[in-house]
Structure 1
Amino acid sequence: MSEVSQEGTGRSAAGDAERATQLVARLDLTNLNDDCSEADVAGLIKRAETPVGPVAAICIWPRFVAFARRELSPHIRVATVVNFPHGGDDVEATLDETRQAIGDGADEIDLVIAYERVAEDPGFVEAQVRTIKAHCGGRPLKAILETGKLYDEATIERAALAALSGGADFLKTSTGKVEINATPASARILLEAIARDGRGVGFKPAGGIKTFEDADAYMTLAETICGTDYPTAERFRLGASGVLADLLAVAEGRERQSGKGGY
Structure 2
Amino acid sequence: MSELNLREAAAVALTLLDLTNLRDDCTEADVVALAKRAHTPFGDVAAICIWPRFVAAARRELGADSPIRIATVVNFPSGDEPVADVVAETRRAIADGADEIDLVLPYRALMAGDAAAGEVMVKAVREACPAPVKLKVIIESGELKEKALIRQACDIAIAGGADFVKTSTGKVAVNATLEAADTMLLAIRDSGRNVGFKAAGGIATVNDAVFYLDLADTIRGPDWAIPSTFRFGASGLLDNVLAVLAGSHQPAARGY
TM range (shorter): over 0.9
- Residue equivalent to 1:35: 25
- Residue equivalent to 2:50: 60
- Residue equivalent to 2:144: 150
Q: State the TM-score, normalizing by the size of structure 2.
A: 0.94
Q: State the TM-score, normalizing by the size of structure 1.
A: 0.91
SS in structure 2 of the partner of residue 102 of structure 1: helix
Gap change, CA 1:218 and 1:36, over 3 Å in 2? same
Instruction: Judge conservation of contact 1:19–1:251 (CA < 8 Å) in 2.
Output: no
SS in structure 2 of the partner of residue 237 of structure 1: strand
- Residue equivalent to 1:133: 126
CA distance in 1, matches of 2:116, 2:219: 27
SS in structure 1 of the partner of residue 35 of structure 2: helix
Instruction: Judge conservation of contact 2:240–2:249 (CA < 8 Å) in 1.
Output: no
Q: Kindly state the Cα deviation for residue 89 of structure 1 after the two structures are TM-superposed.
A: 4.6
SS in structure 2 of the partner of residue 118 of structure 1: helix
RMSD: 1.3
CA distance in 1, matches of 2:47, 2:91: 20
Query: Of the candidates 118, 122, 125, which is equivalent to residue 110 of structure 2?
Result: 118
Q: Any idea what the Cα deviations from partners look like across 1:109-164, whole Å, max 9, x if unmatched?
A: 00001001114122321221111011111211000001111121111111111111
- Residue equivalent to 1:223: 217
The AA in structure 2 aligned to 1:137 is: P
- Residue equivalent to 2:169: 175
Q: Any idea what the Cα deviations from partners look like across 1:142-187, whole Å, max 9, x if unmatched?
A: 0000111112111111111111111111000000000000001111
Structure 1 segments unaligned to the other structure (5+ residues): 1-8, 259-263
SS in structure 1 of the partner of residue 223 of structure 2: coil
CA distance in 2, matches of 1:163, 1:154: 14
CA distance in 2, matches of 1:97, 1:257: 43
The AA in structure 1 aligned to 2:129 is: C
CA distance in 2, matches of 1:68, 1:134: 24
Structure 2 segments unaligned to the other structure (5+ residues): none
Describe how 1:1-263 pairs up with structure 2 within 5 A.
9=1, 12-73=2-63, 74-119=66-111, 120-138=113-131, 139-256=133-250
Instruction: Judge conservation of contact 1:68–1:78 (CA < 8 Å) in 2.
Output: yes
Q: Any idea what the Cα deviations from partners look like across 1:238-262, whole Å, max 9, x if unmatched?
A: 000101111111122113498xxxx
Q: Any idea what the Cα deviations from partners look like across 1:178-212, whole Å, max 9, x if unmatched?
A: 00000011111100000111212000010000111
Instruction: Judge conservation of contact 1:147–1:181 (CA < 8 Å) in 2.
Output: yes
SS in structure 1 of the partner of residue 53 of structure 2: helix
Q: Any idea what the Cα deviations from partners look like across 1:214-261, whole Å, max 9, x if unmatched?
A: 111111111111111311111100000101111111122113498xxx
SS in structure 2 of the partner of residue 254 of structure 1: coil
CA distance in 2, matches of 1:256, 1:125: 44
Higher RCO, Cα 8 Å, sep 6+: 1
The AA in structure 2 aligned to 1:176 is: G
Instruction: Judge conservation of contact 2:3–2:251 (CA < 8 Å) in 1.
Output: no
Instruction: Judge conservation of contact 2:6–2:207 (CA < 8 Å) in 1.
Output: no
